[in-house]
Structure 1
C-alpha cells in the first residue's frame, strides 16, 4: 500500500513538472502569464473537511450556488441541503414526474434541468416549472450554463447512434459540436458536461471512456482516456466533471475510487485517491475551489480541500 502511495506521489510530481516545462508547438496550448501568477499548488494529501448525508441512493448530480448545495437522484426532485441543520430544505418536482437527468443553476439562481424521456429542458421560475426547449428527435442527458448566457445540452439521437452538444438561448440554437476536425464523431454517449473558465467545453463519454475537450468555437483540443496512469488504473470509466479557478479539469473515476486532475491542455497533473472515497460519481467546485464529491451508492457528498 505504501509503495502505491509513493508511486502516486512520484507520478503527480512528474506530470506537474511536464506541464510546467512543456513546449507545445500549438500556441493555443501556452499558459498565459497572468494564469501563472495565480497558480495554486496541490496538497500532497487532500483533506476531507465535511461529509453531508443525502437521501439519494443512487446520487446522480450535485451543484453549488450561493454556497448552497443542491442534489438529485433517481426520483422526481431536486433538493437543497441546509448545511447548518444537515437536512433537506427545498424540493423541486419535475414537470413530468420523471427523474431529472441533469440540472444546472443559472446566475440568477433559476434551476434548469434535462428530462430524457420527454426530450425537453425545463426551468423553474418563481416556483413554477416551464418547458423552455423541446429537443425533438434527440434526448438530453447532460447540461450546463455558460458565461455567454446560453445552455449547453449534451444529447443522443433517439436510436442512440449519434450524439452532439447544442447551445441554446431560449429555444434558439447558438452553437453545435458534433464532429472533430477530421469529421469523426466527438461523442458517443455524453453523460456529463462542464464549461471551463477559459470557455472550453469538456464532456465525459460513457461509450468512448474518455473526456473530450473542444474550444468555444467547437475546435477539437484533446481527448483524455486515462492512459497516463494505466499502470495503476488499467480501466478508466469517467463520470462527473468539474473545473476550478486554475482551469484544471477534475474527472470522477467511479470504478477506481479516485479523481483525475488535468490541466487545460489535457496533461494529468495530479489525482485524488483518498481512501475515504467510495464510488465518486458527480463533482462540483465551489467559489473558493472547494471540491464537492457525490458518492453514487452511499448518497454522501464529501467536501474536500485539494489546493493550497
Structure 2
C-alpha cells in the first residue's frame, strides 16, 4: 500500500513544517526558502516588511547544488564556516577542513536568501534610482555649461569695453592737455617775436633818420643828435621753451591682469550624499586627537652638512635636499635609494612630491621649476622677472610657487596647472602686500580645506589665504614661554586640517587649527628644526638643519 503512494504524498508524511516542526508542510515561501504548513502560512505572511512569495510545495523551485570542483561526482551540500566556501561530504572528511565548523548549506540558506533579496530591493528601489538621478543632474549641468561660460566670456568682454572706454578717455584728456600746452608754448613765442619786432621797427626808424641827417648836411640836426646805440646793444631776451616729455608708467603683465580682474580657479568638490547612509554610509576621515606627548619613532641620517627640506614619497621613503646640488631618496634605515642632481648643477631651492609620486624642485639660479618623471628632468616653468623660492603640490595636482621679483621688492604666490598660470596672489583687499619682500624663505602648503598657508620668515608670520586668495589670518606666534621671537620656516598640513610650522630658533613646532588658533607645541628635543611634511597616516617628518637628520614623529 505504501509503495503505491505517490512521491508527493510520501513527502508529506516525511517532511514537516519548518516553523512548528509538527504539521505536514503544504506550502513553500520562495522569498525566504522555508517550508510551511497551512496554519503557519498566515503567521509567516504577517511580517509585512518582507515581500513573501508563498507557493504550493509541489510548485516550488528546486534547489540547485553546485558540483564539487575536487570531487566531480559529488554535490556541495555543506558549508565550511572558516573557509567560507561550499563543500561536499568527501571534502568535509578530508584533512583540508579538519577542525573547521561545518554546517548544512541549507541551514543558513533562508537568512542568505533574505539578505540577497534585501540587497536586490535596495539596489532596485533606492540605490540605482539615485545613480540615475546623479547622471541626470550631470547631464543638466553639462547642458547649462555653454550658457554659464558664455556669461563669463561676456563679463570679460564688458570689462574689456570698460577699460577701453577708460583708456580712451585718458588718452583724449592727455591729447587735450598736450594741445593746451602747445597753445601756451606758441603764445609765449608769439609774444617774444612781437617784442623783438617792435625793437626792429624802432631800429629801422633810427637808421632812416640817421641817413636823412647825414644827407642833409644840416648843422643844427647834426649837433643836436644823441646816440641810442647803447640802448640796442643789449639784445632783447629770447624766451626758450622746452617741449614737455611724456613719462610712461612702468608696468608688468601681473599689474595689468590685476587691473582687469581675476578668474577664480575651477573648484572641484566631491559631495557625499547622507541620504544613502542607510545603504552604505560614506565614512569621513576619523578624528585623531593630539597626543599629550609626541613620540620620536625614527631618525634618518642623510649625509648632508646642512639639511634643508624633506618631502614624503611614502610612509617609509622620503626625498631630501641639503647644501649641495644632489637630491636624495632615503628609507627609514637611512639607506640611499636614489640620488638626482639638478640640471643646472646648483643647489635646488625647494622640493615637493606630486600626487603621482614625481619629484618637483625649484632652481633659483636659472628661474625655473622642474619635474623629474622617469629620470629625465623636464623644465615645466621658466620665470621672467621673478625668482622661484618654494613649491608645493595641491590636491588637484596644481603647483603653488612662492616667488620674488628681480629687484626683491615684491613677493607673490602663483598657481600653475602644468606650465599654465591659473592664479596670482599678491595683495590683500586694501592693496597691501600679503607677503614680505626679499629672499627670505616662504615655504608653502595647501590645507585640507584648500586654504593656502605660507611660512613667511621675513614677516615672522604664517600667512593663510583661502582658495580665492583672500586673507584669512596671520599667525605671529604664541605668547608663551618661548625665549626668542617667532621664526617660522617649514610648514605642512595634516588630515585633520591642522597647520604645523617649525620655529627654528625656539627649536619646536607649532600646531594650529585651520582658523589659526594655537593648539600645542611639539618639542621632542629638536635641533634647529626646518623642513616639514606628513605622510598619508599623519606621521610627521622634520629636518634638523645642523645634524642633517630627518626625524619621524607620531603626534596624533
| 1:156 positional shift | 0.6
Q: Secondary structure at the match of 2:292?
A: strand
Shift of 1:57: 2.4
Deviation at 1:191, TM superposition (A): 2.1
Q: 1:270 aligns with which of 512, 520, 524?
A: 520
- What secondary structure does 2:467 align onto? coil
Contact 1:140/1:155 (8 A) holds in 2: yes
SS at match of 1:136: coil
Which residue does 1:302 correspond to in 2?
Answer: 551
User: Residue 37 and residue 301 in structure 1: after superposition, are their counterparts in 2 closer, same or farther (change >3 A)?
Assistant: closer
1:71 equivalenced with 2:323 (yes/no): no
Matched with 1:284 is 533
1:231 Cα offset (Å)? 4.4
Q: Determine the structure 1 residue equivalent to 2:487.
A: 237
Higher strand share: 1
The structure showing larger relative contact order (alpha-carbon pairs under 8 Å, at least 6 residues apart) is: 1
* Match runs of 1:31-110 below 5 Å: 38-67=286-315, 68-84=317-333, 86-110=334-358
Aligned residues: 271
Mark the CA change 1:37 to 1:69 in structure 2 (over 3 Å): closer, same or farther.
closer
Aligned to 2:453: 202
Conservation of the 8 A alpha-carbon contact between 2:364 and 2:387: yes
Is 1:119 matched with 2:370?
A: no
Q: In structure 2, what is the Cα distance between the partners aligned to 1:180 and 1:251?
A: 23
Counterparts of 1:35 and 1:225, CA distance in 2 = 36
The alpha carbon displacement at 1:99 in A equals: 0.7
Q: Deviations over 1:267-307 (max 9, x none)?
A: 00111122x21111111111111111100111011111111
- Return the alpha-carbon distance in structure 2 between the equivalents of residues 35 and 220 of structure 1: 31
Alignment TM-score, normalising by the size of structure 2: 0.47
State the 1:39 CA deviation: 2.8
Return the offset for 1:213: 0.3
More helix by share: 2
* Pair member with larger Rg: 2
Equivalent residues of 1:163, 1:190 under 8 A apart: no
Per the TM alignment, residue 170 of structure 1 is displaced from its structure 2 partner at its CA by: 2.0
Q: Quick one: distance in 2 between partners of 1:214 and 1:38? A: 26
Question: Structure 1: which 5+ residue stretches go unaligned?
Answer: 1-33
Separation (CA, whole Å) in 2 of partners of 1:295 and 1:62: 10
Pairing of 1:146-161 with structure 2 (within 5 A): 146-161=394-409
The TM-score normalised by the length of structure 1 is 0.84
Secondary structure in 2 matching 1:45: coil
Q: Say whether the 8 Å CA contact 2:299–2:332 is kept in structure 1.
A: no
Q: Which ranges of structure 2 fall in alignment gaps of 5 or more residues?
A: 1-281
8 Å CA contact retained: 1:95, 1:130: no
SS of equivalent residue, structure 1 residue 126: coil
- The superposition leaves residues 173-223 of structure 1 with CA deviations (integer Å, 9 ceiling, x where unpaired) of 111110112211111145200011111100011211000000111011000
